[in-house]
Chain A
Amino acid sequence: MARIIAGIGTSHTPAIGAAVDLGKTAEPYWVPLFKGYEPSKKWMAETKPDVAIVVFNDHVNAFDFKIIPTFGLGCAAEFPIADEGWGPRPVPIVKGHTELAAHMVQSLVLDEFDMTIVNEMQVDHGLTVPLTLLFGQPKAWPVRVIPLAVNVVQYPAPTGHRCYALGRAIKKAVESWDEDLNVVIFGTGGMSHQIQGPRAGLINKKFDTAFLDGLAQNPERLASIPPLEYLRDAGAEAIELVMWLIMRGALGPNVREVYRFYHVPASSTAVGHIILEAA
């Protein structure tokens, strides 16, 4: 049976990817951040998952405004790296797991989550930066990836409750797959940040800390945070944190927090990171 063994929450700030790609990780600005991910890379190298489900959002790269899926599951064999306006990131192509993804779609739709099936998709920094942070710079990614793209760009994003419930349905879908696979799930984006308008640069460490605490201890409370609270208290783009609730829902009721890191800033973002193992 396939099992979801752990969840990883992490920001996906594009500047982090650029810092790696341009060889700037030893610059004083970036040193504390990359140091904070060293234990995570070690954990990942020891954990060696077969598949990573990466919950992320596209930033007007794969999807323009013609079609905006609320939940789109990537079912392709390969996902090319998007050119976001400065050339594609120099990272390996992302390989999918078509069989498991197809099974997940079927299971999720019958479970009343009306997924959009995405058979072709370029993936942007939302997906590739988390891979870089956890796997470094390998020639090929050592894991197969099932991207789950969530609309958090056009208001409203799916609610925290809906995301948490989708996570639970993902757990059920994965566990009903017979092949022995160790699966990890990434919830990406956030934490507090606002990158538009006169209020740009907003950071709310108190909100972020409470969110990180709640992930392990009280995810039901986090799932009930209304959209307005994210927008108002943690910044217009902090709504991305609902994607972490999909990750959390997929881990089952009990988890063990094995690592946590928090750092301000990367560009305009409070970088948050947590690793939770399913207990």
Chain B
Amino acid sequence: MSKRPQEYEDIPGTWVFDAERARRGYHLNAFFYSLMKAENRAEFLADERKYLTKFPMTEEQRDAVLKRAWNKLLELGGVSYAIVKLAFTDKKSYQYMASQMVGVTEKQYVEMMQAGGRSLDGWKSKSERKA
């Protein structure tokens, strides 16, 4: 038995944190959660690869952490509220992380928001975008 495709998978540019992603991302998210403590942040920054071995995540997940591959982290089961603790560890803002996920500079992202944000036009469904 396997999961049927979910309707929300048709939303472009979005990884819904569902039960399957939560299952795959459990140890990845536990790692992000550990960064809430200052001593853990320091230990991680001192030797990132070594610190990551404490968490039984996949090599692909470890690699995405080391590369700060923000969208990949979402795809592999990270949840944004947890992932952002890595951005904070890097002394970056939430808006910086969002801009990196979007693929623009932080300044461009902030300007887009101040101009009213991203319109739904063209972003409602993947099937619509292909059409």
Contacts and interface: CB of A to CB of B under 8 A. Distances in A.
A140 interface: no
Interface string B69-99: 0010010000111101100110000110010
B53 interface: no
A154 B94 CA distance: 19
Contacts of A198: 12-13, 71, 101-103
B14 to A, nearest CB: 5
A125 to B, nearest CB: 11
Contacts of B89: 85
Interface stretch (A41-49, A102-110, A178-186, A225-233): A225-233
Given A64-B33, A265-B113, A195 B98 contact: yes
Interface in A151-188: 153-156
A83 to B, nearest CB: 6
A231 B11 contact: yes
Given A64-B33, A264-B116, A232 B102 contact: no
Main secondary structure of the interface of B (DSSP, over half): helix
A67 to B, nearest CB: 13
Interface residues of A, number: 41
Contacts of B84: 85
Contact of A232 (B8, B15, B18, B36): B8
A119 interface: no
Nearest to B33: A64
B60 interface: no
Contact of B101 (A64, A86, A197): A197
A29 B110 CA distance: 11
A153 B79 contact: yes
A204 interface: yes
Contact of B109 (A64, A201, A228, A270): A201
Contact of B16 (A29, A233, A236, A264): A236
A233 B124 CA distance: 7
B5 interface: no
Contact of B14 (A83, A85, A194): A194
B120 interface: yes
Given A154-B19, A228-B7, A270-B117, A201 B98 contact: yes
Contacts of A258: none
B120 A233 contact: yes
20 contacts: A29-B114, A59-B81, A64-B33, A65-B26, A83-B36, A153-B17, A195-B94, A195-B98, A196-B15, A198-B103, A199-B12, A200-B101, A201-B117, A202-B117, A203-B118, A232-B10, A232-B11, A264-B113, A267-B95, A268-B113
Interface of B: 7-8, 10-19, 22, 26, 29-30, 32-33, 35-36, 71, 74, 79-82, 84-85, 88-89, 94-95, 98, 101-103, 109, 112-114, 116-120, 123-125
